[in-house]
Amino acid sequence: MAQFIADRRDVDFVLHDQFGVSNLSKHEKFAEFNKKTVDLIVNEARNLAIKEILPTRKIGDEVGVKFENGQITVPEEFKKAWEIYKEGEWLAMPEDLEYGGQGMPRLLSMAANDYFNGANYAFMMYPGLTHGAGKLVEEFGTEKQKKLFLKKMYTGEWTGTMLLTEAEAGSDVGLLTTSAKKNDDGTYSITGAKIFISSGEHDMSDNIIHPVLARIEDAPAGTKGISLFLVPKYRVNDDGSMGEFNDVVCTGIEEKLGIHGNSTCSLTLGGKGECIGTLLGEENKGMRAMFLMMNEARLLVGLQGFSCATSAYLYALNYARERIQGKNLLQMMDKDAPAVPIINHPDVRRMLITMKAYVEGMRSLLYYVAYLDDLIVVSDNDDEKERLHGLIDILIPIAKGYVTDRSFEVCSHAMQVYGGYGYIKEYPVEQLLRDCRITMIYEGTNGIQAMDLLGRKLGMKKGKLVMDLMVEIQKTITKAKGVAGLEEYAAKIEASVNKLGEVAMHLGKTAMSEKVLSAFAFASPFLEAAGDVILSWMLLWRAAAAAPQIEKKPKDASFYKGQVKSLEFFASSVIPISMGKMDAILNTNGAAVDIEDASFGG
């Protein structure tokens, strides 16, 4: 069946069978979101994504954004999709009704965003950044800032960005030099130059609202002296109307490998000394604000990468079913044997099941992190809320780092299934592979995600986060052991979880020893191994939900059987490799650290 973004059956399975999304409607806050509403929302998100957003994906790539005379234009086709998206009020799905949101469970908004991002995530970065900027205003803004900006942002009338990076302040944001000078009226004059600003300038909205990191005069050096400001492209009068141009000038855009539909801008603030911002939150607490928003931003990037993977998998699957090439291996010697669809070839099947298992596991993981947020909302127990927060904190580096790494691999497998056609622009997977690549870099490179996991999350609350996660995984293992046919795989996964615990202890200790550098040289392998184990947990969870349905629902039997096969494949063919990866981590060989710089050659 020819779907091109996300397998609807799979989306429904995760929402209903795995996480029981409509149970959330028992809580007053989500009362409206019963099963019928959930299904309608997914239907309509899918409908809009396929009919209006998907057709912009190739155009966005080929036409791209244009920069002329300081103005940026997006492809004309983006504008219609943008208007319909705004009219449908899809921008702030989980947010408060009061500010233009829809009060929807985050889990459900993930499903809608799965379709939207899968259709064209470069386009979806305009509302995505707007949403993130809106969240900053919602969390840290004064009543006045909320009144002036929030609803206009959550409804998409004005869009938003995030101005962190400067030429000399990338991963090390503490080096930034953009300055803020306090004026008599309490506002600040902002001066500086920012780069790599996604959606930084475009012609889809009248005003663009930039949250900007800058240093107030005489503030401490490094991250401790950074404050957050709200800087609109056009000033906003007290009555909400737009005022004068605020001296935020786009000086150029980047030519990138992918996401050509999104404008990646260089912005000069206050080049004429006329850029005014208002403080968002407290002075010198800008980084704290950033950190609070980071989980959501990183989860979104995980979803962006994943959206390329899910789409690439479906294209490859459809192609493998249609492309006729080569005889069936069992009929190789028969000169009259007909050529068969390439899905019959074992190596193609290996790639397809690899993609399938990763895509399914990653979808579950991303939705799960969103679901944890909903569980926080419906819980009235502070300890439980804190536990759930901890689970989110420890899973975020996996949901961003591991998911985007694997997503790129899935895109590469998809290209391989297409053969030479995968490498040319006539077919869609080369764009997906290019678009996917940036998700491994921005919003904290995947190396930084690995350091976050090892250096921060592992030791948080004396290891409680890891322990809580292990407990959750063990619950699924115990349940799956009671499901006929899954015992063997549950046992394999249990062994890998235990080994991961051992590895975490070892690496945590090594990071406190004189071998600290060697430990961090294994941060990425550790993220990868942890990701494998967590993915296998998700596949086990899915199979445990699917296996009992095989007999009960013959119509869906092939889907449910497919879940057990994904688990079987992963537990039998991937987890043994993960065990080997973990052996390597336990060795913590020091070659990468010990090798002399000169010995790298060159």
Partner 1 sequence: MEILVCVKRVPDTSENEIEVGSDGQDIDRDDLVYSVNEWDNYAVEEAIQIVDKVGGKVTVVTVGDDESEEVLRREMAMGANEGILLSDDAFESSDGKGIAAILKAAVEKGSYDLIMTGAQADAGAGQVGGMLAAMLDQPYASLVNSIEVIDDKKLKVGREIEGGNQEMNEIQMPCVLSIQTGINEPRYVGIRGIRKVASVDIPVLGASDLGIDSGSVGNAGASVKVQDYFVPVFGDGAEMLEGSTEEIIDKLIELLKAQGGLK
Between 3 and 563, whose beta carbon lies closer to partner 1? 3
Q: Return the residue of 104, 230, 275, 469 that touches partner 1, per CB under 8 A.
A: 104
Q: Return the residue of 13, 30, 90, 402 that touches partner 1, per CB under 8 A.
A: 90
Residue 380, sorted as left (phi over 0), alpha (psi -120 to 50) or beta, turns out to be alpha
Q: Return the residue of 73, 102, 311, 364 that touches partner 1, per CB under 8 A.
A: 102
Is residue 400 packed enough to be buried (19+ CB in 10 Å), middle (13-18) or exposed (0-12)? Answer: buried
Continuous segment of H or E residues that includes residue 121 = helix 106-140
Check 95, 360, 443, 528 and give the catalytic one.
443
163/214 Cα distance (integer angstroms) = 9
Q: For 547-589, where are the alpha helices, taking DSSP H only? A: 549-552, 557-569, 575-587
Torsion of CA 123, 165, 392, 513, to 10 degrees: 140
Between 9 and 479, whose beta carbon lies closer to partner 1? 9
Between 97 and 484, whose beta carbon lies closer to partner 1? 97
Between 46 and 202, whose beta carbon lies closer to partner 1? 46
Asked if 39 interacts with partner 1 (CB under 8 A), we say: yes
Asked if 552 interacts with partner 1 (CB under 8 A), we say: no
Helix (H, G, I), strand (E, B) or coil at 254: coil
543/566 Cα distance (integer angstroms) = 8
Contact range with partner 1 by CB under 8 A, out of 14-22, 34-42, 117-125, 589-597? 34-42
Q: What is the CA radius of gyration of the chain?
A: 25
Whether 439 and 122 have beta carbons less than 8 Å apart is answered as no
Asked if 591 interacts with partner 1 (CB under 8 A), we say: no
Residue 443 is among the residues annotated as catalytic for this protein: yes
Between 88 and 455, whose beta carbon lies closer to partner 1? 88
Using CA atoms, how far residue 226 sits from 217, 480, 547, in Å, is 10, 49, 53
Give, as ranges, the residues between 557 and 576 that touch partner 1 (CB under 8 A): 558-559
Q: How many CB atoms lie within 10 A of CB 452?
A: 22
Asked if 29 interacts with partner 1 (CB under 8 A), we say: no
340/343 Cα distance (integer angstroms) = 8
Q: Return the residue of 20, 29, 40, 587 that touches partner 1, per CB under 8 A.
A: 40
Between 442 and 559, whose beta carbon lies closer to partner 1? 559
Shortest reach from residue 42's CB to partner 1, in Å: 10
Asked if 36 interacts with partner 1 (CB under 8 A), we say: yes
Give, as ranges, the residues between 69 and 88 that touch partner 1 (CB under 8 A): 84, 87-88
Shortest reach from residue 154's CB to partner 1, in Å: 12
596: phi then psi, degrees, rounded to nearest 5? -70, 145
Asked if 581 interacts with partner 1 (CB under 8 A), we say: no
Q: Which residues pair with 210 in a beta bridge?
A: 231
Dihedral sign (CA 364, 23, 127, 75): positive
Report residue 18 as tokens: 């795995």
Asked if 475 interacts with partner 1 (CB under 8 A), we say: no
Q: Return the residue of 26, 29, 32, 424 that touches partner 1, per CB under 8 A.
A: 32
Asked if 17 interacts with partner 1 (CB under 8 A), we say: no
Asked if 272 interacts with partner 1 (CB under 8 A), we say: no
Report residue 254 as tokens: 């980047």
Q: How many CB atoms lie within 10 A of CB 601?
A: 4
Contact range with partner 1 by CB under 8 A, out of 35-43, 214-222, 248-256, 413-421? 35-43
Helix (H, G, I), strand (E, B) or coil at 552: helix
29: phi then psi, degrees, rounded to nearest 5? -60, -35
What's the full length of the chain, in residues?
602
389/320 Cα distance (integer angstroms) = 42
Between 87 and 139, whose beta carbon lies closer to partner 1? 87
545/563 Cα distance (integer angstroms) = 9
Q: Return the residue of 13, 19, 33, 196 that touches partner 1, per CB under 8 A.
A: 33
Asked if 43 interacts with partner 1 (CB under 8 A), we say: yes
Asked if 327 interacts with partner 1 (CB under 8 A), we say: no
Continuous segment of H or E residues that includes residue 493 = helix 487-511
Shortest reach from residue 8's CB to partner 1, in Å: 5
* Number of residues near partner 1 (by CB under 8 A): 34
Q: Return the residue of 23, 34, 251, 549 that touches partner 1, per CB under 8 A.
A: 34
Shortest reach from residue 92's CB to partner 1, in Å: 10
Asked if 343 interacts with partner 1 (CB under 8 A), we say: no
Q: How many CB atoms lie within 10 A of CB 237?
A: 11
Between 34 and 142, whose beta carbon lies closer to partner 1? 34
Question: 66-68 and 71-73: which strand pairing?
Answer: antiparallel
Contact range with partner 1 by CB under 8 A, out of 42-50, 172-180, 218-226, 326-334? 42-50
Between 314 and 582, whose beta carbon lies closer to partner 1? 314
Shortest reach from residue 86's CB to partner 1, in Å: 9
Asked if 555 interacts with partner 1 (CB under 8 A), we say: yes
Asked if 44 interacts with partner 1 (CB under 8 A), we say: yes
Q: Return the residue of 23, 37, 268, 328 that touches partner 1, per CB under 8 A.
A: 37
**Tokens 């976050």 sit on residue:** 452
Between 48 and 309, whose beta carbon lies closer to partner 1? 48
Nearest to 145 by CA among 185, 187, 201: 187
Shortest reach from residue 89's CB to partner 1, in Å: 5
Report residue 356 as tokens: 């399938």
Dihedral sign (CA 202, 205, 210, 211): negative
Residues identified as active-site: 443
Binding site for partner 1 (CB under 8 A): 1-4, 8-9, 32-34, 36-37, 39-41, 43-44, 46-48, 50-52, 84, 87-90, 93, 102, 104, 555-556, 558-559
